[in-house]
Structure 1
Amino acid sequence: MKRIEQLQPLSREHHLGLVISNHAKQCANDVEQIAKHWTALTDYINHNMDNHFKVEDDLILTTLAQYQQQHPKVAEVMQKLTEQHSQLYQLVTLDSLSAAQVRELGTALYDHIRFEERELFPLVEQLFSEQQLQAVYEASSSNAKRIDENR
């Protein structure tokens, strides 16, 4: 899926999450497999996605709020994004682990990334001004930006 340049760093961060979550959705009922997948999922969410979620929560949601009156889809997307972030944070704090919980977290992460790529980002591309898109780009993690992006 073609993504505008300003959102490409956020999309790049999704790639690893899709790989990790897709593998976790297949987690066997084996202690080693459970630990391996759980660690990969929670490390990805707690460390790799910290700034990603901050950009979405603090910048994208705040900017989208301006468009709620003119575009009915905006409120629905904002609510879903908030609910999904909350669900992911709840799931990563579980104390006891099972293969079912690993698969649940893997599925939640996978579905969340797909939602962002298919619904949130196209809406942002449609509604945000060049200046608003640039603010998202600048707030995105430097690790996900390419050196040859002339910004």
Structure 2
Amino acid sequence: MDNKKPIKRHEALKPLSRQHHFGLLFSWKIRKGFAENISVDRLKIYADWFFLQEIKPHFKLEEDYIFPILGAEHPLIERALKEHRHIERLFRDREDPQNSLSLLEEELEAHIRFEERVLFTEIQEMATKEELTKIDEIHFDAGSKEEYADPFWEQN
């Protein structure tokens, strides 16, 4: 039996963790789309929308406000930034969207799990009270307020 306790996340980081939840849902929706034989074009349109509405602003928040707590030379930050660039390339790929989407749903999920389980835990431990207060004062946009117009994942 798995006795893992839920991670106790500092209030200042909870909005970003909620955004991570949307990323995990994205991965699930792409997997479901493939399983339901939804056209790659429809999946790519959704991925493009998700990139602009969720991923791009989320990465900017992390890179501008969260990652500086550990510093650019910290190995965990180097890994996170490398993964950000790779995930962005997968979102932008037009040559082989089926392969990119397949890789994207796996790699985005793995990246989110790394940030939640390892990176945010380290940041939470290393951040000063002042740094966490500053993050808490930033008005995070917890993702897009608009619903995506084509909920392909709801099909039977």
Q: TM-score range by the shorter chain?
A: 0.7 to 0.9
Equivalent position of 1:118 in the other structure: 117
Structure 1-normalised TM-score? 0.77
Partners of 1:41 and 1:106 within 8 A in 2: no
Equivalent position of 1:101 in the other structure: 100
Partners of 2:12 and 2:136 within 8 A in 1: yes
Shift of 1:110: 0.9
Partners of 2:16 and 2:142 within 8 A in 1: no
Unaligned segments of structure 2, at least 5 residues: 1-5, 144-156
Equivalent position of 1:20 in the other structure: 26
CA-based RMSD? 2.3
AA of the residue aligned to 1:37: L
Equivalent position of 1:61 in the other structure: 67
Describe the SS at the equivalent of 2:87: helix
Distance 1:54 1:129, change over 3 A: same
Structure 2-normalised TM-score? 0.75
What's the CA shift string for 1:71-118, capped at 9, x where partnerless? xxxx22111101011001111111134432211111121111111101
Inter-partner Cα distance in structure 2 for 1:29 and 1:98? 17
Shift of 1:33: 3.3
**Could you tell which deviates more after superposition, 54-63 or 134-143?**
134-143
Partners of 1:9 and 1:140 within 8 A in 2: no
Unaligned segments of structure 1, at least 5 residues: 69-74, 145-151
Equivalent position of 1:37 in the other structure: 43
Inter-partner Cα distance in structure 2 for 1:140 and 1:118? 24
Extract structure 1 runs of 4+ deviating beyond 6 A.
none
Matched, 1:52 2:58: yes
Equivalent position of 1:72 in the other structure: none
Shift of 1:50: 2.7
**Could you tell which deviates more after superposition, 6-15 or 20-29?**
20-29
Inter-partner Cα distance in structure 1 for 2:93 and 2:124? 35
Describe the SS at the equivalent of 1:8: helix
Shift of 1:143: 3.7
**Could you tell which deviates more after superposition, 38-47 or 56-65?**
38-47
Inter-partner Cα distance in structure 2 for 1:140 and 1:54? 13
